[in-house]
Amino acid sequence: MDVQKTIEAINAQLDNIKDPVAIAIITQLLNIIEYQAQEIKELKAENQKLRNEISKLKGGSGKPNIRPQSNGNHSSEKDRKPRDQQKNNKKS
């Protein structure tokens, strides 16, 4: 569940609510949810870091740092174009 997208969707619907007290309460609740989601994300990262450290201390290798896969093809335009293949004649 993507908390940020859900919060943005709810914020878009706040204009439909006419009661100013309800709007204030919902806004405060959304702020709390957003703060807690960020806190959870940070705690999960710290927890994983500590697990890796424990694994290393026990003699393991820990979790490897793998960079996320980048989007797009990084080859040049020249490399992406199909080439005409030439047949090589065998000389006996």
Is 69 within a domain? no
Residue 36 lies in a domain: yes
Q: How far is it, in rounded angstroms, from Cα 2 to Cα 5?
A: 6
Is residue 75 in a domain? no
Query: Collapsing DSSP states into helix, strand and coil, what is residue 26?
Result: helix
pLDDT, position 75 = 67
Enter the pTM of the model: 0.56
Beta-carbon contacts of 14 under 8 Å, excluding residues fewer than 6 positions away, are 23, 26, 27
Q: List the domain range (segments joined by +) for residue 46.
A: 1-7+17-62
Which sign, positive or negative, has the C-alpha torsion 69, 46, 1, 26? Answer: negative
Nearest to 10 by CA among 28, 20, 42: 28
Q: Does a structural domain hold residue 39?
A: yes
Residue 55 lies in a domain: yes
21 domain-assigned = yes
pLDDT at 36: 95
Q: What is the mean pLDDT of each run of 10 residues along the chain (92 residues)?
A: 86 89 93 94 96 87 73 68 70 64
